Amino acid sequence: MKEKERFWLYVRRVICVVLLMAAIVVIYKGLDFVMTDDSDIRSRQSINDFYEQDNVDVLFLGSSHGVYGLNAGAISEETGLDVFNLATTSQDCSTSSFILEAALEAQPNIKQVYCEISYQLMKRDKPKDIYAYLGLDYIRDPILRARLILTNFSTDKYVNSFLRLRRNANALEDLSLDRMIQTYKNKTSESYKDYSSNKYMGRGFFRKDSTVYIGGDTLAINSESENLDTLSSEEFTDYQYGCIEKMIDLCNKKGVKLVFYIAPKLEYYFSLTTGWDDVSEAMGSFLDERGITLLDLNLVKDEYLNPTMEDFSDADHLNYQGSLKKAAFFSQYIQDPDGDYFCDSMEEKYPADESSLFFTYQVDKSKGDVEVSISTEPLTLVGKDIHVECCTVSGKKKTHKWKDKDPVELQAQEDGSYSLTIPKDDFGTYYRLSVIDDSTGETITNTVTSFRMK
């Protein structure tokens, strides 16, 4: 009798433990559903799409330059191969290496991999948390996910990294009934259930139609966010180089062809800085020593790839129109990798244009004004005037009208350049600058610069 009582007591305890665990799981899943709004996260569409593919022949990896600028569908149509793009925002070589490992397990027929190398990301010791989380979403193998977390995050981030609540670090502080209701509505919508998005074009590519300017032919660089000093490969970290070697070893073992590439930037970027040839050559030499090819798309000859202002949405992100040009180049390269596609240097690619002027701008946060620096070489601004216009974009049709700003005074700098200050109207305002000859009233530059305050 006592043995039966002990047995049923043991059974009841087991049942209580199981019910408690089940309750914890249900509560966690419920809280996760109403607290974690991932309805607007692009990776949901591309992740689901990738794992539903019957076959993938060619895989592209990279940062946001690939998310919006690598049109895998267009490459597939041109080459007849199954191409997929697994780029994520700020994806560095570390995150790429983990996504590559997961992709090769999920799609064993992959024969070619093209991975972007970013100058800015090569300087990181480890990826920033939020961007590593995006890469983590693409990995379904729990062991590989745990390896990524343990490799890329410090110990104080381990617990948060294993939970989906990481998507909103302030989830508990922001918790409100209205927010929970809105999240529930978002996640029960048909578009959420069927992974639809008006910007998702399939095969990991998201369409962006915006252009880098409104009414101008070139753009200014925000000198606060862009390093305009001499570029140097000495800033690249051993950690990123190690991740590249890890990818090379993995592809060699799998018999997969691995190629690295550098995404294209606007021409004016290279007119405001120096050292790009050194950066490109350093990365190329490192890979060449290991039998790997580097494609610097900034050095592609014009007849094969020559994106213009209309092809960019900002300084270094292609829009949909630009993605088609990039896809055309990769389609040709994939089918004929031995072609003579590249210039030897930046000087050959972009000969000096004696009628061009380039601008940088910096926001004076204390005054809310825009400080615009003007590089005058090879032109002189003696007897010239800077004409300034502005506009705001409004409405669904993005209508705009340029208006003249109040006269502005040029301020000579010690280095021979000039600057002017433009009072900031509000966020979203576009500014357009051009150089006018005072004596004739004619515009003497072949470029008009515009930029937007944001």
What is the tens place of the pLDDT at every residue in 315-346? 788 999 999 999 999 999 999 999 999 999 88
Give the per-residue pLDDT at 214.
41
Residue 261's nearest CA partner among 55, 50, 70, 42 is 70
The 10s digit of each residue's pLDDT in 179-188 is 778 878 877 8
Whether the CB-CB separation of 110 and 104 falls below 8 Å is answered with yes
Q: How confident is the model at residue 13 (pLDDT cuts 50, 70, 90)?
A: confident
Q: Does residue 33 have a pLDDT over 80?
A: no
Residues present in the chain in total: 454
Whether the CB-CB separation of 58 and 176 falls below 8 Å is answered with no
Across 382-402, average pLDDT: 58
Q: How confident is the model at residue 248 (pLDDT cuts 50, 70, 90)?
A: very high
Across 1-6, average pLDDT: 72
Bond preceding residue 378 cis, omega within 30 of 0: yes
Give the per-residue pLDDT at 323.
95
- Residue 234 burial by Cβ neighbours in a 10 Å radius (0-12, 13-18, 19+): exposed
Q: How confident is the model at residue 26 (pLDDT cuts 50, 70, 90)?
A: confident
Q: How confident is the model at residue 192 (pLDDT cuts 50, 70, 90)?
A: confident
The residue that leads in pLDDT, 216 or 306, is: 306
Give the per-residue pLDDT at 367.
59
Give the per-residue pLDDT at 278.
85
Region of poorest pLDDT, from 43-52, 303-312, 411-420: 411-420
Q: In whole angstroms, give the CA distance from residue 34 to residue 342.
A: 52
Q: Does residue 424 have a pLDDT over 90?
A: no
Phi, psi of 112 (to 5 degrees): -135, 140
Q: How confident is the model at residue 370 (pLDDT cuts 50, 70, 90)?
A: low
* Average pLDDT of the chain, as a whole number: 77
Give the per-residue pLDDT at 117.
92
b/e burial code for range 333-350 (CB count within 10 A of at least 16 → b): bbeeeeeebbeeebeebb
The residue that leads in pLDDT, 306 or 258, is: 258
Give the per-residue pLDDT at 159.
53
